[in-house]
A and B are shown apart, each in its own frame.
Chain A
């Protein structure tokens, strides 16, 4: 008899517990979706807000994508940091060939291409469009050129430079030139741009934070009575702030998605001109889009910014709603 009663009360307690915990989850889900519902209900304002946020986000992420693509492009160039050795005018083709063979023996060298005076002239005539004019010249003004491609292991600029110095001392060589100079300049420019984009991203992230903050502030003003009454019947701070944090989350998340769409559209528009450009360069260039991880991190960051913006505003504004 006693036992049964105990079991009954235990069951009752368990039922009450599961009722409670289910309700707890339910309240969270409800807050999550009712805040989404509220966003949908105020379509015009929400869409405006989210578009503004999305534009800021797509600017930042678009620049990242741009840098990413440019890095890939310069990456291609980097692997062709070749040394050009211009031979003295009086060096014969045969002597040039011997030198090229000698250089080929060097362990640090991957590939050697000899361009004789004749070949150079022919190529020049073909590509420059000065063909007729050059026919007038009696002597071939172009030197023999040996193009040296160092092994990939020579990523180190200094190693390449010392290799070049070595070649410079051959007495057939008039002067040596490293095609890296401008690559280096490009890389420096890329670094500057990268830093610029970082600063821009921080600013735009701050803008997103402010926009969510302001939206939440307005929302809080509209629901002031609700907050007040909830406080008076014993709502805790976390209970009151929860729906607003969810609103911040949705704002960030949805504008992240819109930004992703925006950037994708822009990339699609840019794709064909870039493809043309890369064909002109004689180099197949694959435009890189957002990968799966990029999208995940983009959405996480924007959602986080939304929640953070809401949180900061709530921290200051909820205290202003009296009573405590």
Chain B
């Protein structure tokens, strides 16, 4: 499903943020991406979301080489991704409903379908009943869950989550992780960046560790 082949990334200014990273995630596999702050976790996820492009090597997503994707194809590939961002990236002048509905609106879904799915998605993250609120009137953890609801609403093939539990208490974290596992059970590939060591150990999934941009084996 997702294959990194000797991928290096260097931002225009500065040294290599990722160096010679290679790994392979199978369809329906769930893995954690960990490492110290500044190790390159967010950068790695951004490469998959085509927010950045790698300097060397290649990334295959569902068999498609992301270096060779045309600009026109990018939106359609992104629709297969469920992205959860470290900074949430919510629209603060829109209601929770509108935020969560955005991926469906953008893809041209019908309103009935949108309403149904938004409620289902908010229900999954325990925010049913907050549709009409604005993100700023929610707690940090609730905002994070709005971001998660938005990411999973499009029934993505692969979920990429950057610190999805950063603002959640252990109980909620466990719930959110459980939600991801449910998606994994129906065949969705999940890659989660996190440095919550305790949580990682408890979950018992595959762990990819980045150290100064290099993938540590083991």
Contacts and interface: CB of A to CB of B under 8 A. Distances in A.
B112 interface: yes
A236 B72 CA distance: 8
A260 B217 CA distance: 73
A229 B46 CA distance: 14
Contacts of A26: 111
B78 A233 contact: yes
22 contacts: A16-B113, A19-B110, A19-B111, A19-B112, A27-B105, A229-B102, A230-B106, A232-B51, A232-B83, A232-B85, A233-B106, A233-B150, A234-B79, A234-B107, A235-B75, A235-B106, A236-B75, A239-B106, A322-B51, A323-B46, A323-B50, A324-B71
A232 B71 contact: no
Interface of B: 46, 49-52, 71-72, 74-79, 81, 83, 85, 89-91, 102-103, 105-114, 150, 154
A130 to B, nearest CB: 81
Contacts of B150: 233
A16 B83 CA distance: 26
Interface string A2-23: 0000000000000010011011
B149 to A, nearest CB: 12
A170 interface: no
Main secondary structure of the interface of A (DSSP, over half): helix
A233 B50 contact: no
Given A230-B102, A233-B103, A20 B108 contact: yes
Given A234-B76, A323-B50, A323-B52, A229 B91 contact: yes
A230 B75 CA distance: 10
A181 B91 CA distance: 72
* 9 closest cross-chain pairs (CB), A and B: A19-B110, A234-B79, A323-B51, A234-B78, A233-B103, A235-B106, A23-B110, A236-B75, A234-B75
Given A225-B91, A226-B91, A322-B51, A232 B110 contact: no
A228 interface: yes
A242 to B, nearest CB: 11
Nearest to B111: A23
B78 A232 contact: yes
A231 B111 CA distance: 20
Contacts of A236: 75, 106
Given A233-B154, A234-B154, 13 more contacts: A20-B109, A26-B111, A27-B108, A226-B91, A228-B89, A231-B78, A232-B83, A233-B102, A234-B77, A234-B79, A237-B72, A323-B46, A323-B51
Contacts of A226: 91
